[in-house]
Chain A
Amino acid sequence: MSGPREYWLDRSENVSKIYRGLWLFGLALLAVDLALHKHEDFAFAAWFGFYCLFGFFACVVLVLVAKRLRGVLMRAEDYYER
C-alpha cells in the first residue's frame, strides 16, 4: 500500500459535478411540469413548479428557524450532568 487510498469523492471538483448534476435533474423535473397536468385535490398544488418551490423554501425556512432555535435551546453537552 502506498499511502491512503484516494476516493473519487475526495476531489472537490467531483463533488461539484454531483452538485451541478442535481441542479440539472431538478430543472428537468421542473420542466416536466410544462407537459404533465397533475391531478390534485387542492387546485394550487397543480400550479407550475409548486412542489419544487415548496420543497426548496420549506427546507430553507426549516434550517433558518432551527438555527435561530439554537440560540434559545442549545446548552453545553454536560448541562444535565452538572
Chain B
Amino acid sequence: MSADFPVALVFLLGAVVVPLLHGRLRTAWMLLLPVAAFACLLTLPLGESGQVELLGQTLVLMRVDRLSLLFGYVFVLASLLNVIYALHLKDTVQHVAGLVYAGSSIGAVFAGDLMTLFIYWELTAVSSVLLIWAQRSDSSFRTGLRYVLVQLLSGMFLLAGALLHWRTTGSLAFGQIGLSGPAGVLILIAFGIKCAFPLLHNWLQDAYPAATPTGAVILSAFTTKLGIYALARAYPGTEMLIWVGTLMAAFPIFYAVIENDLRRVLAYSMNNQLGFMVVGIGIGSELAINGAVAHAFADILFKGLLFMSMGAVLLRTGTVKGSELGGLYKSMPWTTGFCMVGAASISAFPLFSGFVTKSMIMSAAAGEGLLLTWLVLLFASAGVFHHAGIKIPYFAFFGHDSGIRCQEAPRNMLVAMAIGAALCIGIGVFPQALYAILPYAVSYQPYSASHVVAQLQLLVFSALAFAVLMRTGIYPPELRSVNLDSDWFYRVLFASWAQRATDALQQARATFGRMLRSTGGRLYARIHRHHGPQGSLARTWPTGSMALWVTTMLLAWLALYYLP
C-alpha cells in the first residue's frame, strides 16, 4: 500500500464490503481491517501527504505527526477491540456503522485542514447515531435524534468558524488557532460540544446509555477523544480551559453518585475524566499536554472496558439499573474481574493505567502552582474511585443479591475484555511503552514512593468512606429515577416554550379566521340584502306593472307632444 494512502479509507471502503459477506468470512474480514490499518500506520512517514486541490485550497488528507499518530494508534486499537466485542452480532447495520465511525474518526485525526476535518466530523455524527437507532425502540429513536442534532450543530459551528478563519487568515490549515477572534470562539464551541464542556455536555449522558450494548462501547471510544485531540491541536495553553476542565472534573461526580443507570454513571465519569484532559490542555506545558493525551489513550481503554462489562450485563440480564442488579459475580465471574480491572484503572490504582497518566496532569497542575485546580482534581480523583471504581462493580456484581442468575458473557466479549484489561495493566506496569509514543519527550517518573503511598492513602480512605456510609445506611440507595441535567432546558423548558408559542400562534390564527369569517359574513349579508333574490335591486318585476309604466310613459309623451 502506498505510504500516503489515507488510513481512514481502509475502514470506509472495508465497511462497504461487510454487507456482502457472511459467517466466518465476514468475521475474518472485520478483524482484518483494523490489523491492516495498523500496518498502514506503522509505515506512515511523518509529514503531510495526500494533498488535494479544491476550490483554490489545498486540502491535506494526511498530516502525520506524533500527536495525530498517537490518536491514530489508539483509535485503531479501540476499533479492533470493538470488532471483537461485537462479533456475536448478526446486525449488519451496527457492524457497518461501527467501522465507518471508526474510520471517520481516524480520518479526522489525520486531517491537516479544517475542511477535511469538517467532512469527517460530520461523518462521525451520522455514522454513530446508527448505533443508537440500532436499539430500534421509540425512545432510542428520539434520543438518537437529539444526539445527532447536537453533533450536527457542532459541525455547523466548525464550518462557520472554519470559513471565518479562512477569510481572516487566508488559510484553512488546522493548527494552533487560539481564542484571538470570532473564528477561534466558534471553533472552540464546536470542539467544546464534542468534549462535553459544562452545559454543552448532556448529549453524552443522554445518548450513550440509549445505545445498544455494543454500540455504547464503540461510542465511548471516539467522539469525545476526537474532541480532546482537536482541542490539544488547536488550543493548547488556553488558560480558560483550565477552569472549564476543573469544573468538568468536579460536577459530574455528584450526578454519578445518585444516578441509577450504570451506563449513565459511566457517561458522567467519562465527563469527569475529560475534565482532567481539558485541564492538561489548558495548562499547555509539555508535561501537561503529554498527560492529557496519555490520559485520553488510557481512558479509551479503561472506559471501553467498563462499558464492555456493563454491555455484557445488559445483554445477559436486560438491564443496567443499579436498583435491579446485584450479586452478579456468581453468574459472571470473568466479567466481574475485568470490570474491576477497569475500575482500578480509572481510579488510578498503582500498577493500573490511570495511575501513570492522570498523575502527569496532577503533577503539571501542582508544578504551575494552580492550588484550586489541584485541590478540585484531587477531590475528583477521590470521587471517581467512589462512583466508578466502587459503585459500578459494587451495585452490579456485589451488594444486595438481586437473585438474577444468568450466563457468563459470550466468549468474544470476554476475549475483548481480556485484551482491554491486559492493556490497562500493561500500561500501568510498563508506562515507558506509552510514554515513548507521546508528543514530547517524557522525564516524568510515576513510581516514586511518595506518589504511590499518597495515591494509596487517598484511595483506601475513599473506600473506607464508602464502606462506613454503606454500613451506617447513610449512603443513598439506588432508586429508579432520572435526574435533571442541562438537557432539561431543551427537553422541557424550550419544548414548553415551543409548545406555548405554537398554542399562541394557533390561537391567533383561529381568532383571525373568526374575524375574517364574521367580516365576510356581514359583507355577504349586505350584498345579499340588496342583490339577493329578495333584494330591492335584484327583485323581478311583474310584466303587468311594466306595461302600466310604459303606458304611463307613452301617455306622458303624447300629452307633451300636443302641448302647445
Contact = CB atoms under 8 A, between A and B. Distances in A.
Interface of A: 5, 7, 9-10, 19, 22-23, 25-26, 29-30, 32-33, 36-42, 45, 49, 51-60, 62-67, 69-70, 72-77, 79-81
A63 B460 CA distance: 16
A51 B476 contact: no
Given A30-B457, A63-B475, 6 more contacts: A41-B366, A59-B462, A60-B468, A66-B254, A73-B255, A74-B481
A52 B457 contact: yes
Given A26-B464, A52-B457, A58-B462, A81 B139 contact: yes
Contacts of A37: 450
Contact of B454 (A5, A38, A73): A38
B383 A62 contact: yes
Contacts of B456: 29
B257 A62 contact: yes
Contacts of A76: 481-482
Pairs A-B, 10 closest by C-beta atoms: A59-B465, A55-B461, A41-B366, A38-B450, A66-B257, A51-B457, A55-B458, A56-B461, A58-B382, A73-B483
B483 A26 contact: no
Question: Chain B, interface size: which category?
Answer: 35 or more
Nearest to B495: A80
Contact of A39 (B254, B448, B467, B482): B448
Contacts of A63: 257, 386, 465, 469, 474-476
A59 B448 contact: no
28 contacts: A7-B330, A19-B471, A22-B460, A23-B464, A51-B454, A52-B461, A55-B458, A55-B461, A55-B465, A56-B462, A60-B465, A62-B253, A62-B379, A63-B386, A63-B474, A66-B255, A66-B476, A70-B481, A70-B483, A73-B255, A75-B483, A75-B484, A76-B481, A76-B482, A77-B481, A80-B482, A80-B491, A80-B492
Nearest to B378: A54
Contacts of A79: 482
Contacts of B521: none
Contacts of A23: 464
B367 interface: yes
A54 B382 contact: yes
B258 A42 contact: no
Interface in B441-475: 448-450, 453-469, 471, 474-475
